[in-house]
Structure 1
Amino acid sequence: MKIVIIGGTGLIGSKTVERLRKQGCEVVAAAPNTGVNTITGEGLEAALAGAEVVIDLANSPSFEDQPAMDFFTTSGRNLLAAGKVAGVRHHIALSVVGTERLQDCGYFRAKLVQEELIKASGILYTIVHSTQFMEFLASIAKSGTVGEAVHLSPAYVQPIASDDVADAMAGIALGAPINGMIEISGPERARMSELVARYLKAVGDPREVVADPEALYFGARLNDTSLVSDNNPRLGRITFEQWFATAARK
């Protein structure tokens, strides 16, 4: 079975490629640095020729409102059009838990448009809503840093390790399309401010974390249900402490 992974050289993509190749699949790691560009269309037709499954892991290089919308609409339309021509039987896209609840943020509005394009495409699909990756804790801390303090929302989050995301994506690629959504999340729930404080301590970062209910998350105000899944998610296996131990060694 030929599987094309858009964004196949990135964090989740490279891990998913590895897992599917070990299963004996023919996998194309498609990305601009391998000659496949979903914005310009370069290399897309050739990459998708003969593909049964496409996994879209591409992400906008900008979280700003208009660039994110331009990226996901252009990339989504080009990829779906090429998929129809190629006869793709299963289109899989990685999206974000809380997308429909965080429409004050332009990035999440763009992700919702991407999802609607997939649903309207006529290609059988599976949309995967994931909670935030544990690997993004450093960038979350950076986004809230003011001087020597990190101001973050105390809303609950339930991050998932990238290895668990890749396991889920590989498994879904080998299964049948559901024409619906699957949610995945980490095995533990914690308040964002407290979790980032634990992470910074684990990696030896002296910054202080301030729990600030008014702190925005990439432009969106959070509550305790914004970024967590209560929709019977598939849970990852890697705990916070297990991941912290690995992060501290890097």
Structure 2
Amino acid sequence: MKVVVIGGTGLIGSKTVDRLRAEGHEAVPAAPGTGVNTLTGEGLAEVLRGASVVVDVSNSPSFADDAVMEFFRTSTANLLRAGAEAGVTHHVALSVVGTDRLQESGYFRAKQAQENLVRESGLPYSLVRATQFFEFMTGIADMATEGNTVRLSPARIQPIHSDDVAAAVARTAVGTPVEGTVEVAGPEAFGLDEIIRTTLTARNDPRTVVTDPRAGYSGAPLEENTLLPGPDARLAGTGYTDWLARQS
């Protein structure tokens, strides 16, 4: 089976390509560096020729509100159009758990727009919503940093290892389209402030984490369970504490 992975040279994309190839599939990474640009449409027709499945794990190069919306709307529309013309029979897109609950954020409004385009396209599809990646914890700290202080909500978070995200995406790609959403998450839930405090301590980062129930996330307010998956989520096996210890 030929599977084209848009964003296939990035963190999740490259791991997805490796997993699919290990299972005997023809997995083709597609990104600007390989001559495929979903914003302009360059290279899409060529790379999709003969493909059964398209996996979109791409991300916007800018998180500014207008730029990220333009990216997801334009690239998704171009990809869906090219996929239909190429006869693709399964469109898989990676999204984020809680997207529909974070609409005060420009980034998550753009992800919701992407999801809506996929749902309304008429193509058989699957949406994989993952919780935040282990590798993104330091990035969360950076977004919430003022001076030497990291101000974070105690809202719950259940992060997942990138390897487990790639496994879920690859499994979904070669399966029957679910015509809906699959959620994946790690096995452990933490307070957002707690996990970032633990992360910074493990990395000998001198910043101080301050617990602030009013602190938002990517510009959106948080309630206790905003970032948590639903009861039907598929839980991965890699625990954050063990993973962090290995990094240290």
TM range (shorter): over 0.9
Distance 2:232 2:222 in 1: 21
Helix, strand or coil: the match of 1:13? helix
Q: Is the 8 A contact 1:183 1:231 kept in 2?
A: no
Q: Counterpart of 1:87 in structure 2: which amino acid?
A: G
CA shift for structure 1 position 230:
1.9
Q: Which amino acid aligns with 2:218?
A: F
CA distance in 1, matches of 2:68, 2:135: 21
Q: Match of 1:126, as an amino acid? A: S
Matched, 1:185 2:148: no
Shift of 1:236: 1.1
Question: How does the TM-score come out when normalised to structure 1?
Answer: 0.97
Superposition deviation, residue 49 in structure 1:
0.4
> Alpha-carbon deviation of 1:231?
3.7
Q: Deviations over 1:166-191 (max 9, x none)?
A: 11111111211010100001100010
Q: How does 1:225-236 map to 2 (within 5 A)?
A: 225-236=225-236
Percent of aligned positions that are identical: 55
Unaligned runs of 5+ in 1: none
The residue that corresponds to 2:96 in the other structure is 96
What does residue 146 of structure 2 align with?
Answer: 146
Mapped contact 1:160–1:186 kept (Cα < 8 A): yes
Q: Summarize the alignment of residues 209-224 of structure 1 with structure 2, pairs less than 5 Å apart.
A: 209-224=209-224
Structure 1 residue aligned with 2:204 = 204
Report what 1:59 is aligned to.
59
Partners in 1 of 2:241 and 2:12 — Cα distance? 21
In 2, Cα distance between equivalents of 1:142 and 1:106: 18
Runs of 4+ in 1 over 2 A off after TM superposition: none
Q: Secondary structure of 2:4's partner?
A: strand
Number of paired residues?
Answer: 248
Q: Tell me the TM-score normalised to structure 2 length.
A: 0.98
Superposed, 1:13-92 pairs within 5 Å as 13-92=13-92
SS at match of 2:38: coil
Look up the SS of the partner of 2:72 in the other structure: helix
SS in 2 for 1:150: strand
SS in 2 for 1:63: coil
Aligned partner of 1:176 in structure 2 is 176
**Take 1:30 and 1:226, find their aligned partners in 2: how far apart are those partners?**
33
Contiguous gaps of at least 5 residues in structure 2: none
How far does the alpha carbon of each residue in 1:19-53 deviate from its partner, in whole angstroms, 9 at most, with x for none?
10011111110000110000011111000000000
Match for residue 119 of structure 1?
A: 119
- How far apart are residue 247 of structure 1 and its match? 2.5
Matching residue's letter, 2:163: D
The one-letter code matched in structure 2 to 1:154 is P
Q: Root-mean-square deviation (CA), in Å? A: 0.9
Name the CA distance, whole Å, in 1 between partners of 2:230 and 2:188. 13
Amino acid at match of 2:172: I
One-letter code aligned to 1:85: E
> Contact 2:183–2:230 (CA<8 Å) still a contact in 1?
no
